[in-house]
Amino acid sequence: MMLLVDIHHRLGALNLEASFESAGRLTALFGPSGSGKTSLINIIAGLIRPDNGRIAVDGRTLVDTASRSFVPAHKRRVGFVFQDARLFPHLSVRSNLLYGRWFTPQAERYAEFERVVEMLGIGHLLARRPNLLSGGEKQRVAIGRALLASPRLLLMDEPLASLDDARKSEIMPYLERLRDETKIPIVYVSHSIAEVARLATDIVVMAEGKVAASGPTIEIMQRLDLLPPEEVGEGGAVLDMTVLHHDENFGMTVLGTAAGEMRVPRIARPEGAAVRVRIRARDVMIATERPKGLSALNILPGRIAEISQVDGTQVDLKLDCHGDLLVSRITRQSFETLHLAVGREVFAVIKTVAFDRANLSPGGAACANQRLTGASRCHL
């Protein structure tokens, strides 16, 4: 399903100019606070009418100022999940979930109540009131309410921003299931590169009201120059890998990719399953000869494809490892001492302990898209 956005809107001091197309399952609007992400998602939802431009979802025009066409928010069939759950405090979880269905014609309802409840793991909460729920539980109910309206598009405005790390870890697998088990396109606003790298199939980078770059997550994540200073340390490469086998003796999982085999802490995925792996540039060391006697278990041969200097002390290298691209950030001193140059054969060295749950997630063709009326599981 294709999402087309091409708008221009003046909102106070912000001059919003956004133009992109995405066919991804989950398109992330990424950027620092004040970059225009929330304003843009509100325009997509129909909460703000843009000064100029057009928005269409799967060929259905939501707004086109040239033809004076504007579909009001309540007729767009768009689900919206906010930073705070915004549940009705006087209603039970069940009643909150069913609220959205009232506005959807019966013939157009595709989301089954039992299926949504099972997918989000909220069956034991149905009789409770919102004041008895944790932050993560409230957000799961809010997502369920949006899904049960059978939307054509789901918008999520920093749904994890108000949660602590424990609650974020709790809800992340449910967001992955939502991405992989439904055919509803999702637009997800976030300023966290860890969230975006784990969840997004496509990224739109926002900066000062404009689109700085857009494209598949694997490509955009390699652009460390696009990240705000506080997130640069989290940037790097994203690779789609396959589970080859598990080493039960050492509690490891061996993953395969074009770059070679990699060992990561044991993950609960069957052999042959697809896994998305984020490899931070700061976790990739460079050697000009194959190292010996190291504790690091992952050593991948590659060739320096691109060099860019960040500042006077750091250098970014893009490595071509048999078609897979890695990014390494090293000191300028190391760069000059090793006499590195484009085309030189090197080895990328990555510690196994660099991979935690935030860097490993389901992904790839093994996570088949299913309607909410179907049954599929895809989780770590």
Q: How far apart, in whole angstroms, are the C-alpha atoms of residue 215 and residue 1?
A: 15
What pLDDT, in 10s, does the model give residues 216-258?
998 898 888 888 777 777 889 999 899 999 999 999 999 999 9
d(CA 202, CA 289): 36
What are the structural domain ranges in the chain? 3-220, 237-362
- What integer pLDDT is reported at residue 362 of this predicted model? 67
User: pLDDT tens digits, residue range 251-295?
Assistant: 999 999 998 999 999 998 899 999 989 999 999 999 999 999 888
Judge if 3-220 and 237-362 fold alike in CATH terms: no
Cα–Cα distance between 188 and 200 in angstroms, integer? 8
Q: Which CATH architecture has domain 3-220?
A: 3-Layer(aba) Sandwich (3.40)
Which segments of 197-266 are extended strands (E)?
Answer: 202-207, 210-216, 236-247, 252-257, 260-265
The 10s digit of each residue's pLDDT in 173-222 is 889 888 888 888 999 999 888 899 999 999 999 999 999 999 999 889 88
Over pLDDT 70: what percentage of the chain? 94
Angle 294-352-360 from CA coordinates, rounded to 5°: 165
Average pLDDT over residues 348-363: 78
DSSP 53: E
Q: What is the CATH number of domain 237-362?
A: 2.40.50.100
Please name the amino acid found at residue 295: S
Q: What is the DSSP string of 17-29?
A: EEEEEE--SEEEE
Mean residue pLDDT across the chain: 89
Mean pLDDT in residue range 93-97: 96
